[in-house]
Amino acid sequence: MPELPEVHNFKHYFDAAAIGQRIAAMTVHDDKIIRNMNGPTFADALTGRTITGSIRRGKYLFAQLDNDHDVLLHFGMNGDLNLYQEPEERGRFERFAFHFSDGNTLGFDDSRKFARILYLEDREAYIREVGLGPDALDLEEDYFLNALAGRKTTLKGILLNQKIVAGLGNLYVDDLCYRLRLHPATRVNHLDQEQLQAVYRKIIEMMTYATENAPYYRDYPEEWFWHTWRKEGGVDPETGGEVKVIKVAGRTTYFVEGRQRMGE
């Protein structure tokens, strides 16, 4: 699933393809992923508009329009963008497409239909409505420590909570816990101040590196974070411990037995 760094990469792609472009027409093949209006209404609202910019917050990408409205692109499990000119280059699972006045088409592909697309008249009101927390790259240490103080939930659960930190997902949180040698099911209130500060620093370090290296989520480098260890029944290359799989916060979770210990 695309997480903050992957959506950061989508933003670069979207900006290069779409900013400054007038939408000459829209095609909606399947409006299931358009969550707050039907396909014809969505197409009508966008046709003739110009895309002026984009804003990413966590896993959310907001395409800004010249009428001060936005289109929210949330990529779900496997959403993708595809810029093309010839009809035969259209993605097999394209759900809708922007046809720009310069002749290019930007398609939104989604084979599993878990993406969330919304037309928003007030972006900030929507962010308040869903309670979206600060972007993981913009975290301030005091905020983070205060937000976690005294929490009895699991470390993994709190880091996946988009109302606390926007942008972290299953893969990066597993890897963060692995690198800090913390069990993902450790209760936050069992971590001391030094450990919480280490979690904060690791979030910033990982997200900075990942966004600067702009991964495409279907083609990670072999040495990309979790690729070096996150295999069920595998062996941790550093400690020789076995990689186990459990459920934490309702999510499939990988950890290395012996390496990652519960906070006391």
Q: Which residues participate in catalysis according to the annotation? A: 2-3, 59, 251
What is d(CA 74, CA 133) in angstroms, rounded to the nearest whole number? 16
Q: Are 56 and 127 in contact, with CB atoms under 8 Å apart?
A: no
What is d(CA 158, CA 168) in angstroms, rounded to the nearest whole number? 10
Report which DSSP code applies to 103.
S
Virtual CA dihedral for 123, 129, 131, 136, nearest 10 degrees?
A: -10
Q: Are 171 and 206 in contact, with CB atoms under 8 Å apart?
A: no
What is d(CA 247, CA 155) in angstroms, rounded to the nearest whole number? 13
Report which DSSP code applies to 188.
G
Q: Are 46 and 100 in contact, with CB atoms under 8 Å apart?
A: no
Q: Are 186 and 262 in contact, with CB atoms under 8 Å apart?
A: yes
Query: Distance of CA 150 to CAs 35, 100, 145, 200, 247, Å?
Result: 36, 51, 10, 16, 23
Could you tell me which residues are beta bridge partners of residue 72?
62, 118
CB atoms within 10 A of CB 181: 16
